[in-house]
A and B are shown apart, each in its own frame.
Chain A
Amino acid sequence: METSVSKLNKFIYTWLILFLVWLGFTTTFAFAEVVTGILLSFTVSIFSFKSFTHAGLKSLSPKRILYMVQYFFVFMLALIKANFDVAKIVINPKLPINPGIVEFESKLTSPFAKMLLANSITLTPGTLTVDIIDNKFFIHWLYVTGTDEETTYREIAKQFEDILIKIYN
């Protein structure tokens, strides 16, 4: 699916994103700044467009952006909740931890989606992705509540994967 995206498409997407980042950093629309930004992002995207993106301009379709916004809110909620959970464990004098490495199988096919899922799991405190072998995720879990795959999948990955499947599968 990724091979069908043309080079021009990828190049324009890279250029656009880099230029938006430039605008974000300079936060001005002065003529000289904007022209410098266009030239600089053009030069950088010549070298980087091949590895910068797989899907190209398709990533900016409204459906994907809406799902990404939803993903962002789900992720922020999980992040804050998990932060307080781990904070409670650290403050508790008994240090109630039950660590271990568990595994679950993911249904995602795209490498980029797997990367997003692994990063989200790591960013959520209490869980840490150790490795991915094919479709199996190996997670170091601070407070293991069950070692069978169904429990770990439900507790760790389901809320993220439900949205990622809609975007990338």
Chain B
Amino acid sequence: MQILNYIGYFLVSIGAAFFFLGGLGILRMPDLYTRLQAGTKASTLGAMSTILGIGFMQPEWMIKTIIIVIFIAIANPLSSHALARGSHKAHQLPYLKDEKVGDAYEEEVENLQKNQKEEDK
């Protein structure tokens, strides 16, 4: 049983480290989308391995922790997707560094709007 405890401590430490890196990323990144990236990172591996680590420390909670991890895996991308799409609809344009790399979504939305207007005429 002692070895399960050690695995648990190891997983919780990894989770804490990734939570720290996620927070650091949110502070350092230049704009909304890159910050969202850092945020999703923190709550995927960070939260998953912290919760699973607790499951290893208390083996009778193991199945519950696995269900919670699955729930996080379903709910977390939905929220970050909604935030990203919503802010793009509110004309929050992404920070671009390289001139060759553009914003393909913006172009597509403009094309769709153009086609819509032509159809209306």
A and B part of one assembly: yes
By the criterion CB–CB under 8 Å, are B44 and A101 in contact? no
Size of the chain B interface, CB-CB below 8 angstroms? 46
Contact A119 B74 (CB under 8 A): yes
Q: How far is the CB of B95 from chain A (nearest CB, A)?
A: 6
Q: Is A35 among interface residues, defined by CB-CB distance under 8 A?
A: no
| Neighbour of A140 across the interface among B66, B94, B108, CB < 8 A | B94
Q: Which residues of A contact B63 (CB under 8 A)?
A: 24-25, 27
**Chain A: minimal CB distance from B114 (Å):** 14
Most chain B CB neighbours (cut-off 10 Å) among A122, A129, A131: A122
Chain A binding surface SS class: mixed
Q: List residues of B whose CB falls within 8 A of some A CB.
A: 18, 21, 24-25, 28-31, 33-34, 36-38, 40-41, 44-45, 60, 63-64, 66-67, 73-74, 76-78, 80-81, 84-85, 88, 94-98, 100-106, 108, 112
Would you list 16 pairs from A and B whose C-beta atoms are within 8 A, ordered by A residue?
A: A24-B64, A86-B25, A87-B18, A87-B21, A90-B38, A95-B28, A99-B33, A99-B94, A99-B96, A100-B96, A101-B102, A122-B77, A123-B76, A129-B77, A138-B105, A140-B94
